Amino acid sequence: MSDHELRVSKIRNGTVIDHVEGGQALNVLAILGIDGSEGLGVSVVMNVPSDRLGRKDVVKVEDRELSQSEVDVLSLIAPEATINIIREFEVAEKNRVTRPDSVSGVLSCPNRNCITNAGEPVETRFDVVADGVRCDYCSTILRTDIAEHIDV
Ligand code: CTP
Ligand code: ZN
């Protein structure tokens, strides 16, 4: 690596979310509920060249692993992402995200008249469709604004 390249430090323990679609890193942090106030070490790299994606973002979160529901929602905005679990500086696990068939209890429906917004004990459920996610109850489709409706 030459002096002209920027190197972001390796981390000792935590999670590296790699191959995130360029420009989505801040939405990744929103999905993880990270805003900096937790005191976790977080590194964000945005729009760096990638052979596979053209441009990619990378998010490194120290001392934190991800839940399956977080990974499910991540897959919707970063379908090519790789989740690397780091332990004592080594990549202990590397997994590609997979798009789930549906996500339950993690997204809120933007339709105010939807049964899921009526104060009833109904868990939200969205089916993953080609162009976004579709509410099971009212068929409202969330497309680009998925990250704004996360409720984890
Ligand atoms: N990484 C890190 N800290 C470590 C080890 C790895 O931050 N202690 C980061 C690397 O910088 C990289 C990602 O975790 O962004 C995956 O590491 P590695 O598997 O070594 O890299 P690649 O082989 O390039 O990964 P891939 O094949 O998934 O592209
Ligand atoms: Zn709905």
Q: Which helix (H) or strand (E) holds 74?
A: helix 68-77
Ligand 1 center from residue 3 Cα (angstroms): 20
Beta bridge partners of 18: 82
Per-residue pLDDT of the chain (152 residues; tens, 9 = 90+): 556 666 689 999 999 999 999 999 999 998 898 999 999 999 999 999 999 889 999 999 999 999 988 899 999 989 999 999 999 999 999 999 999 999 999 899 999 999 999 999 999 999 999 888 999 999 999 987 888 898 76
Q: Is 89 in the pocket of ligand 1 (CB under 6 A)?
A: yes
Cα of 47 vs its chain's centroid, Å: 16
Q: With a threshold of 0.85, tell me whether the complex ipTM lies above it.
A: yes
Cα of 106 vs its chain's centroid, Å: 12
Distance CA 3, CA 13 (A): 26
Q: What is the DSSP letter of 9?
A: P
Nearest CA to ligand 1 atom 14: 16
Nearest CA to ligand 1 atom 11: 10
